[in-house]
Structure 1
Amino acid sequence: MLNEPVRRVVQFATGNVGRHSLRAIIGRPDLELVGVHAAGPDKIGRDAAELCGLAQPTGVIATDDIDALIALKPECVVYTALGETRPAAAVEEMSRFLCAGINVVGTSMVWLVTPRYADDWLRVPLEQACAAGSASLYVNGIDPGYSGDTAVHAALSLVSRAESVTVQEIFDYGSYDDYEYTGTAMGFGSTAADDLPMAFQPGVITSLFGGLVRSVAGHLDTELDEIRERYQPWYAEKRIECTMTTVEPGQLAAVRFAVEGVRAGVPVITVEHVNRLTTAAAPEWEFPPDGRSGVHKVVVEGEPRVELSTQLSHPVLDVTDAGCLSTAARAVNAIDWVCRAPAGLVSIEDIPPVAMIRGLMW
């Protein structure tokens, strides 16, 4: 760590992911927290430490004033605000920092995990902002992100020939306190008579995860005939109570969905989620190994067959919160490299793997 620059950083948002990235920034000797953005009146005016569960005050007070944060002249902003339900606002917020010459790393706007495949409405204004400020933008997480890029790349490096690639998130969301977004988007608690949940309206799954399929296909030099999506709901037979919500009989308690890259009528690249509320939901569907609550898994059928499972744990946090911590880490760990990078949109392929582990031990 000797002679390494200390990066001045602003944390933007302090929700399920942001409180973990905030805590990480405060704790790292190679980063200096200079500002915090908060949207809620219950958070504005509070010390950053209080917002992420630390006892020692930092002296950095949360604000909703973006101009004031820009005036602090940070080198990087960690953007973890929910953007998928307010994309225009999220693009405008990120662009203000980028135009001011401030780099941005984040976990929001998951389309940007594969920026080369993002639609023009999203990609072009952010490219223009990067060019205007000579700044860089990088977005990643654990899923979308790690499971569909870093883990896939590692698994594929172990085969001499690949026949198919399957990426899975198999998670019990019962303990995840995020009904406002995840719960409503996936439709937990809805019935078959209700409108199709937001996340499963035609084309939405492909918009969120299709870039991952296209990216893997591109790296494999594989031409796909089509990209298709599938969705399967599971409705409860008995009442299920959990942190996410309470599900009554006949209401949605589990979902299985995927985006498939198809060649000659056969799926060759699949990104699939199996998400349930407690083990009582969809007992006939696949569970994580070893009685765990969640797993991110990559299976490459080839020579040889490779199966790579990533299982998170923490002495205090449950597995969904540990997933939020890892999501935050995917952004925070890239700060130094992104600050050194040429201006523009950054994808995981641009970053040398060892650059993501700098500063992790002190």
Structure 2
Amino acid sequence: MRRVVQFSTGNVGRHSLRAIIGRPDLELVGVHAASPAKIGRDAAELCDWPEPTGVLATDDVDALLALRPDCVVYTALAETRPVEALEELTKILAAGIDVVGTSFVWMAAPRHAQEWIREPLEQACAAGGSSLYINGIDPGYSGDTLVHTALSLATRVSSVTVQEIFDYANYDDYEYTGASMGFGSTEDGELPPLFLPGVVESMWGGPVRSLADGLGITLDEVRQRTERWYTPERIECTMMTVEPGQMAAVRFATEGVVDGEPVITLEHVNRLTPAAAPDWDFPPENHIGVHRVVVDGDPRVEINTHVSHPLFDPTDAGCISTAARALNALDWVCDAPAGLIAVEDVPQPAIIKGLMWGRK
């Protein structure tokens, strides 16, 4: 049985926490929470588990490390606080504790991560003899697992496009997703963080380069493109309220280019209502969201992935899947040699071990 600490209990972390409590092969020994309102509360309260666990949330990282867990599941928001998150991760790894996580998405393709991120984490892994694995649904699954499946069905490929097409109206995450993508911003206002030069490329460029390596091609350049759509009408949704003239849809991509043409594209199309950006791509069959891969080649291949849940909205179901991408690799990561682990390092059979728990 692996002894586990859950680090954060937000949109992804609360689902990870619930799975850790439920799985018979994992033992929850600690929970980190940054919010004063959560500190001191039982883990069960933070994820709607029906019975108390006796594990109380704390913001004391040293106390959690003193528990000597086998692994920390790190789902704390990192993209808006990279320096602080890097300090937390290096401290955990240097203490000899393995980490699986869903944030710090620059590390979804660690061999192509920027040096300022990769090198401190490599050094911390070496110092502690520990391992780090970061993955999610996007960046992650769509661009490193789904795309491999699609590519394996073609004998020749001319281009490949990976897309997340999702209506975020019911996603209660304005703090990061809404603000960073610029929902509610105006055309003449300050640029949202995602639209600053190089930001999209820094987050999705690694998976593009990793795909190019796998395909055995040399890219001339990796570039980003961005586009915004402004609503003529007021929109009220869980994410936020958008007034006329404010941004209600965004489309952005990182492209790997050969001879002036994109041959690898990782694209997001996100909106806050089905009425937004009517000329952009929509999920098929009236789904709220989809992760799609389209391979142009012999033959043309298209695979669409939808997630759903009997109790939760599809955006919440996506958060459960995001948590699963890290949590399901935990056991293998704990046994792996020290260092940074990429998705291609993890045997696919290893990530389904222990999943059929709680059957009646």
> Structure 2 length as normaliser, TM-score?
0.98
Which residue in 1 is equivalent to 2:187?
A: 192
CA contact under 8 A between 1:240 and 1:280: conserved in structure 2? Answer: no
Distance 1:95 1:228 in 2: 30
Which residue of 139, 159, 162 corresponds with 2:157?
Answer: 162
1:3 aligned residue:
none
Match of 1:57 in 2: 52
Question: In the alignment, residue 278 of structure 2 is paired with which amino acid?
Answer: P
Deviation at 1:146, TM superposition (A): 0.1
Q: Which residue of 2 aligns with 1:217?
A: 212
- Partner in structure 1 of residue 65 of structure 2: 70
Question: 1:76 touches 1:339 (CA, 8 Å); kept in 2?
Answer: yes
Counterparts of 2:30 and 2:260 in 1: how far apart (Å)?
52
1:229-240 paired onto structure 2 within 5 Å: 229-240=224-235
Residue aligned with 2:185, SS: coil
Deviation, 1:290, is 0.3
| Residue aligning to 2:340 | 345
RMSD: 0.7
C-alpha distance after superposition, 1:208-246 (max 9, x if no partner): 111111010010011111111111110001111111111
**Counterpart position of 1:228:** 223
Which position in structure 1 is the counterpart of 2:201? 206
1:250-289 Cα offsets, whole Å, 9 max, x none, are 1000001111111111110000000000112111211100
Q: Is residue 98 from structure 1 mapped to residue 86 from structure 2 by the alignment?
A: no
Q: Distance in 1 between matches of 2:5 and 2:271?
A: 35
1:45-96 deviation line (CA, Å, top 9, x unaligned):
0000100011200011111111111111100000000011111111111111
Aligned pair partner of 1:357 in 346, 352, 359? 352
1:294-313 counterparts in 2 under 5 A? 294-313=289-308
Corresponding residue to 1:323 among 318, 322, 333: 318
Secondary structure of the equivalent of 2:309?
coil
Determine the C-alpha separation between the residues in 2 that align with 1:92 and 1:201: 24
Q: Secondary structure at the match of 2:322?
A: helix
Q: Which residue of 1 aligns with 2:123?
A: 128
Structure 2 equivalent of residue 30 of structure 1: 25
TM-score (norm 1): 0.98
Q: What amino acid maps onto 2:220 in structure 1?
A: D
Q: Which amino acid letter does the alignment assign opposite residue 99 of structure 1? A: A
> In the alignment, is residue 172 of structure 1 matched against residue 167 of structure 2?
yes
Q: How many residues align?
A: 357
- What is the alpha-carbon distance in structure 2 between the residues aligned to residue 301 and residue 280 of structure 1? 29
**Equivalent AA in structure 2 for residue 201 of structure 1:** L
Counterpart of 1:24 in structure 2: which amino acid?
A
Report the Cα offset of residue 38 of structure 1: 0.6
